Amino acid sequence: MALGEEGIVAEQFSFDVVSEVDMQEMKNVVDQATKEIKQRFDFKDSKTEITLK
């Protein structure tokens, strides 16, 4: 990319910000993270916890 072409890249890519949250998907994420924490050796016997409020 040559100097001054940054504007071209910004024009080619964009993203949307979503203001809606799928609570079932959030529950799945927390459950999966909790399972992974319980399986990790470095967290064994720790009181690590993730909660969804």
In a domain, 12, yes or no: no
In a domain, 2, yes or no: no
Q: Looking at the 3D structure of the chain, how many domains does it have?
A: 1
In a domain, 30, yes or no: yes
Which residues, in sequence order, are CB contacts of 26 under 8 Å at separation 6+?
A: 52
**pLDDT of residue 12 exceeding 90:** no
Angle at the Cα of 11 from the Cα atoms of 10 and 17, rounded to 5 degrees:
70
The whole-number average pLDDT for the span 33-41 is 90
Per-residue model confidence (pLDDT) at position 8: 53
In a domain, 1, yes or no: no
Q: Which DSSP state fits 41?
A: G
In a domain, 6, yes or no: no
pTM above 0.85, yes or no: no
Range of the domain at 41: 22-45+48-52
In a domain, 33, yes or no: yes
Which residues, in sequence order, are CB contacts of 19 under 8 Å at separation 6+?
A: none
In a domain, 41, yes or no: yes
